[in-house]
Amino acid sequence: MSQGPLLDTNSPLNGDQAQRLNDVLGGMDRDQMTWLSGYLAGLNASGGQLSAASPAGATQTASALPEITVLYGSQTGNAEGVAEQARDRAKAHGFNVRLLDMADATKKDLKDPTNLMVVVSTQGEGDPPDTAIGFYELINGRKAPKLDGHRFAALGLGDSSYDQFCQMGKEFDARLAELGAERISDRVDCDVDYEEPAEAWIETVLARYAELSGATTAAAEQGAPAASAGESQWSKKNPFYAEILDTVILNDDGSSKETRHIELSLEDSGLVYEPGDALGVVPQNDPAYVDELLEKLRISHDTELDTGKKVRDALLAEFEVTTLTRPFLEKWADLSDNAELRRILSDEARDEFKEWVYGRHIIDVIEQFPVDNLDAATFTQALRKLPPRLYSIASSYNADPDEVHLTVGVVRYEAHGRARNGVTTGYLSDHVEPGDKIPIYVDRNKNFKLPHDNSTPIIMVGPGTGVAPFRAFMQERDDADAEGDNWLFFGDQHFHTDFLYQAEWLNWREKGLLTRLDVAFSRDQAEKIYVQDRIREKGAELYAWLERGAHFYICGDGERMAADVHQALLDIVKEHGGLDEDAAAQYIRDLQQSKRYQRDVY
């Protein structure tokens, strides 16, 4: 990360100090800069003096406390972020800490008694993160280690709108106990607004480990934690308001889809991103929907909540008022005391529940199962926080540091006699326009990155809006004059109306940057053809690319497409690698563990 010179005009440092500082900063990368910022902030908060006594005090504290291993499995980076927070808090309390990615964890890591803090997200319909699959299979297989003498606490991250909410947290929690480890604290399952419960879990578990070690609370709490540099930067809680520069519908006339290309200004923000990162957009709910909701609840718009905010303002900006989740329905069943709703929520009706929820919103439940005389506070307490929507960034910062681009598929459909719009896509398409400013932040994704070596070939599978990050990949490689081969599989409904960024792909192919381009337009012939079909057709060549070190990427639909592409990849490895089922599966696992097979699916 290149640094500008320290300005002598406002620096309190003498010339020699300034020169030495510039020499150090010039060789540091972004992660090192972030650590240094936090370290200096913490040092300043504690008085700003480096004393010889401080390290000794820290050693005494650490020696009284056990070593902790923070073990995490993360798909998009949220679980990793919580794990890093746990590590930092543990260090601040005086623990010796090891941060361990499940991608790197082996049976040997669990040979000796270990104090574990386990943080794991759930991918898709109850699956482990891609990089955690190997460890998940290890602890659930015939060679699973005995964990007598180990201690643990587990935290799961998930989304309660999915049926298998926090499934991996539940499974790891149960399995570690089955293998003999002692659970020292109850598992916590976190929804999309996970920050506060995760922070509370960290402190609870650290206090419990301190208690078990015999250390006093004072010893455990010695030393204030260094402030994180990220706390003063733009984030979910403190977003940057970016101006919309342009918004263009990418589909041609006659398409059944509405896909928007949106360009935002980052000038004066200081925001930096990399290909593979996502942009968080903090939306507002549809005002007309909120007004109808309040009307059906018979709650006045001007009713004040305990926070002092009017209920309408809070429902617009703070609460999820559309998506149905099991926790909301359970609370509503209690409020309405409705037997039919309780039946739908029962374990016996689990399959029916999934079908019943599909296409319904909170307003439909309020209509079907009304509650008389409901006050605003009780209603908002039943809701979860309105989550930001993450979009794969469709541009390269190095190609244009003043802008960030998004590819947004607008959600519109009819269900149960009512027109439905996606919360964030509706906000971006119907309620803001060029010149307006919207709240955003960068959400880093360490598990969806270009190879460090620009000569490494890459294979990209991105149907529909899943092509967004690959536009960023190509811009990045174009800007860097990268020598690596690039192969794109793109698919959508119709060639003439839905070939997103067609001119750019053809231009990159003409100039030689895009080595191969294979497309599948499902509705242009009687028999539907999808990207997985094109992948199978090119199986021999694709396997040859893998054998020479290619990285394989999938972005897009996680329910069907990603699974179908995965199966196609497995079949190709079996056929063209001459491997049996087990060996082919291991080949794919090795790709995942080495981060040569990465997915950004939703």
- Binding-site positions read 74-79, 121-124, 157-166, 322, 389-392, 407-409, 413, 522-523, 528-532, 564, 602
DSSP string, 522-552: TTSSSS---HHHHHHHTHHHHHHHHHTT-EE
In sequence order, what are the beta bridge partners of 516?
487
Determine contact, residues 286/316, Cβ cutoff 8 Å: no
Query: Residue positions in the annotated binding site for FMN?
Result: 74-79, 121-124, 157-166
HSE (CB half, 13 Å, CA atoms) of 141?
8
Q: What is d(CA 44, CA 50) in angstroms, rounded to the nearest whole number?
A: 10
- Phi/psi class of residue 430: alpha, beta or left (left: φ > 0; alpha: ψ in -120 to 50)? alpha
Residues 6+ apart with CB under 8 A from 548: 457
The H-or-E segment that residue 459 falls in is strand 458-461
Q: What is d(CA 272, CA 289) in angstroms, rounded to the nearest whole number?
A: 35
Backbone angles phi, psi at 118, to 5 degrees: -105, 125
Orientation of helix 561-577 relative to helix 581-593, angle to 10°: 120
Q: What angle do CA 452, 457, 458 make, to 5 degrees?
A: 85
Query: Residue positions in the annotated binding site for FAD?
Result: 322, 389-392, 407-409, 413, 602
In the numeric block, which tokens belong to residue 458?
């890459």
Orientation of helix 539-547 relative to helix 561-577, angle to 10°: 80
| DSSP summary character for residue 105 | -
Determine contact, residues 119/155, Cβ cutoff 8 Å: yes
Residues 6+ apart with CB under 8 A from 318: 309, 385, 386
End-to-end CA, the chain: 32
Query: Residue positions in the annotated binding site for NADP(+)?
Result: 522-523, 528-532, 564
Virtual CA dihedral for 19, 20, 22, 23, nearest 10 degrees?
120
Place of tokens 């090192």: 32
Burial of 386 (0-12, 13-18, 19+ CB in 10 A): buried
Q: Where does 373-513 have alpha helices with state H?
A: 376-381, 423-426, 468-479, 495-498, 502-510
